[in-house]
Structure 1
Amino acid sequence: MGQSLVQNYIHIVFSTKYREDLIFPPYEQELHAYIGGVCKELECPVLIVGGYTNHIHILCMLSKKVALMTLVQKIKAHSSKWIKTKDKSLANFFWQDGYGAFSVNPREVNVVISYIKNQHEHHRKKDFKEEYRAFLTKYIVDYNEDYVWD
């Protein structure tokens, strides 16, 4: 086979450090766009970036040239540095150390896009910890509660 063909849809989720509520307008949409730009630079086209006051959801195509760990590290490093320049109140903005990344069936992409679009409405009923635990359960991820939230 002479050609490498890859189609990996990845749903990435991570929160601000200690799940602090730091992501608000007017910087929320700018942050989402900035993260989309970082992904594009790494040849990981974004389908949608969204989230809530204390976390981010990214649905993108994982490039055949970039390791997932590298993608997430670069998104966090660049976006954290960028957002700190936006306002003095964001000088102590940091992302949590870990992340969740879940493969998405191509037939489920529109469901995930809709889910990410409706984060503000969704989080009127469920906090980030409940949401994240639900993902871990859905994707049958073995985890230790003591280490998930550090």
Structure 2
Amino acid sequence: METQIYHYIIDKANAFNCIIHAINDTENHIHLVVSIPPTFPISYFVKNIKGSSSNYLNNFLSRKENKFAWQTGYGVFSLRQTQLERAIAYVDNQKQHHLKGTFNN
């Protein structure tokens, strides 16, 4: 389901005029590097991505007995343009970081 949910999240972000630069997950969380317009509330973006993607997972991708829900919280970091490439590399390598038990770039 990974590919389908990634495409869903990217399409939803595009509808908000947001750009997903990187997306990757581990078994219990997902990381995104996103450019969000300055006039668009980050909390609105997160609420809608989490809500609509869990609805999509539960109603279209998974069996009814395996209900999916995101955790209630989220973390956000603001980046300068010069930090974008490093953040993308970090997210692209999420699975490797978690296999090694490291969280450094």
Establish whether TM, by shorter chain, passes 0.5.
yes
Of 88, 95, 104, which residue of structure 2 is paired with 1:120? 95
How far residue 67 of structure 1 moved from its aligned partner, in angstroms, is 0.3
How large is the Cα RMSD of the aligned pairs? 1.9
Identity %: 27
Question: Which aligned segments of 4 or more residues in structure 1 are displaced greater than 6 angstroms?
Answer: none
The reply to whether residue 60 of structure 1 matches residue 34 of structure 2 is yes
Aligned to 2:14, the other structure's residue is in SS state: helix
Give unmatched runs, 5+ long, in structure 2. none
CA deviation map 1:46-90 (0-9, x unaligned): 111111111111111112342000000000011000111212167
Question: Is residue 49–residue 58 contact of structure 1 (8 Å, CA) maintained in 2?
Answer: yes
Give unmatched runs, 5+ long, in structure 1. 1-26, 135-150
Which structure carries more strand by proportion? 1
> How many matched pairs?
103
Matched ranges for 1:1-150 at <5 A:
27-84=1-58, 85-88=60-63, 91-126=66-101, 131=103
Which structure carries more helix by proportion? 2
- In the aligned structure 2, how far is the partner of 1:55 from the partner of 1:101? 14
Q: Give the letter for the 2:70 counterpart.
A: W
